[in-house]
Amino acid sequence: MYIRLSEHFATPTLQRGRDYANRGLVVDLEPLEDGTLRGRVSNGRGKTYRQQITLGRDLIGGICSCPVGHNCKHVAARSC
């Protein structure tokens, strides 16, 4: 499956997500039986946020426990 991340995240959000991934702030990723992904990403300052990501045909839908809540930099970091 090929999904263009730039179609689902604003450029600054995707850049921050890639930075988080490159810095090793992605804590874990667990595939669930229903096909969604559950993960955790650190903010680099001691706080860890939880994500639940649905991947589908031309779709990334991510919910995060951070204040943004949806398709944020933490979801982008999990998707990179």
Mean pLDDT across the chain, nearest whole number?
A: 91
Q: For 18-37, what is each residue's pLDDT tens digit? A: 999 999 999 999 999 998 99
pTM: 0.87
Which position has the higher pLDDT, 20 or 59? 20
Q: How confident is the model at residue 74 (pLDDT cuts 50, 70, 90)?
A: very high
| Bridge partners (DSSP) listed for residue 31 | 37
Say if CB 41 and CB 78 are below 8 A apart: yes
Would you say residue 56 has pLDDT above 60? yes
Angle (CA) 71-75-78 rounded to 5° is 155
Number of domains in the chain: 1
Task: Give residue 23's domain range.
Answer: 5-79
Cα separation, 44 vs 48, whole angstroms? 8
